[in-house]
Amino acid sequence: MKSNTSRNIRLGIFVIAGMLIFSLAAYLVGSDQSMFQDTFRLRSQFSNVNGLQTGNNVRFSGIHVGTVKRIQMINDSTVEVEMVVDKSIQEFIKTNARAAIGSDGLVGSRVLNIVPGSGDAPVVVSGDYIPGVTKLGTEQMMNTIGTTSENISLLAATLLEITNDINSGKGTLGMLIKDTITAYHFKETLKNLRATSEKAASSMEEIRNVAQSLDSGEGLAYAILRDTALAGRFRNVMSDLEASGKNIRSLSDSLDEMASSIGSDGGALNYLTGDEEAAQKLRAILDNVEQGTEKFDENMAAMREHFLFKSYFKKQERKAQKE
């Protein structure tokens, strides 16, 4: 009798312990699957779920907020994922939030991450769709890495070939590095280019100064080019100078004839005065006049070639030819 009682007690304890363990396990599983929480449903669509399975965790900003409830194939290029999310998080999820499939750790199970939206978008309601973002899978990443490695290998081979050509003196760069004479000529060319550019800059500065003086209304060139009244007076002065030159030349010829008459024994003036010293002084005066005439002619010739007066003299010559 006692043995039966002891056995029944042990059996009861075992049953109660089993029920407690079962209840605890059911609670833990239910909590993980959001079975005992107030929840709402969201849906998203992907072209590739990358191994996502029913029961995988759903996270919002890194916080566990629900689980994947259902995965359904819509067509040959679209997969719909339905998730169950804790009701207390609903007010923070907006309609412009996005869903992305990631992994729990480097090689862990798949996780569905909800990326928060921004702005004043409305809050989602149960059954809403949020856009899905398909990330590169492991295989795609490995393919990309492989392609990148091949490109790096080709680039390294090309750089090695170029370096060998430079070391052997091939090509323009190799010649500049290895050939000292060519390098010297190249340096001299650069030096000449620098000197030429400096001279060009100086010339441009002078041209700019002339242009500024014309724009600002300063200098004789501006007055002749822009002031029509002054240009007309300048032409009149030049005409007077040219006429004066002709008169001086005519006077010089007359004085030469007079001097010749004075120097001869039969000259009327020599006969009246008979003063040889006066005749010599008169000749000196005539020589000075002749020298002045020559200098005047030189100045007039120089002015004819100057760019400011060349057009005027050409007009005068054409006018004289027509007359």
Which structure tokens are listed for 306?
């100057």
Tokens 């899978």 appear where? 137
In the prediction, which pLDDT does 82 show?
A: 94
Q: How far is CA 268 from CA 122, 271, 274, in A?
A: 131, 5, 10
Residue 272 has pLDDT above 60, yes or no: no
Report the C-alpha gap between 148 and 142 in whole angstroms. 10
More confident residue, 106 or 76: 76
Name the strand (E) or helix (H) holding 98. Answer: strand 98-103
Q: What is the mean pLDDT of residues 49-78?
A: 90
Residue 135 has pLDDT above 50, yes or no: yes
Handedness of CA 67, 70, 74, 79 (dihedral sign): positive
- Which residues, 6 or more positions from 134, have their beta carbon under 8 angstroms from its beta carbon? 46, 47, 48, 50, 100, 101
The percent of residues in the chain predicted with pLDDT above 90, rounded, is: 15
In sequence order, the β-bridge partners of residue 70 are: 82
Q: What is the mean pLDDT of residues 263-270?
A: 49
In the chain, what are the domain boundaries?
1-33, 39-135
Q: What is the mean pLDDT of residues 196-223?
A: 65
Handedness of CA 44, 50, 55, 58 (dihedral sign): negative
CB 85, CB 69: distance < 8 Å: no
Predicted model pTM? 0.38
- Which residues, 6 or more positions from 321, have their beta carbon under 8 angstroms from its beta carbon? none
Report the C-alpha gap between 241 and 309 in whole angstroms. 13
In the prediction, which pLDDT does 161 show?
A: 79
Q: How confident is the model at residue 9 (pLDDT cuts 50, 70, 90)?
A: confident
In the prediction, which pLDDT does 149 show?
A: 81
Which string of DSSP letters, residue by residue, matches 185-231? HHHHHHHHHHHHHHHHHHHHHHHHHHHHHHHHT-HHHHHHHH-HHHH
In the prediction, which pLDDT does 81 show?
A: 94
Report the C-alpha gap between 126 and 130 in whole angstroms. 11
In sequence order, the β-bridge partners of residue 42 are: 83, 128
CB 231, CB 224: distance < 8 Å: yes
Residue 261 has pLDDT above 60, yes or no: no
Residue spans of beta strands (DSSP E) within 116-176 = 128-129, 132-133
In the prediction, which pLDDT does 15 show?
A: 79
Reference 85, options 27, 31, 36, 38; nearest CA is 38
Residue spans of beta strands (DSSP E) within 128-186 = 128-129, 132-133
Report the C-alpha gap between 121 and 6 in whole angstroms. 68
More confident residue, 151 or 140: 151
In sequence order, the β-bridge partners of residue 45 are: 80
More confident residue, 264 or 4: 4
Residue 66: CB atoms within 10 A of its CB come to: 24
Report the C-alpha gap between 145 and 151 in whole angstroms. 10
Q: What is the mean pLDDT of residues 46-74?
A: 90
- Mean pLDDT of the chain, nearest integer: 72
Residue 128: CB atoms within 10 A of its CB come to: 17
Report the C-alpha gap between 221 and 185 in whole angstroms. 45
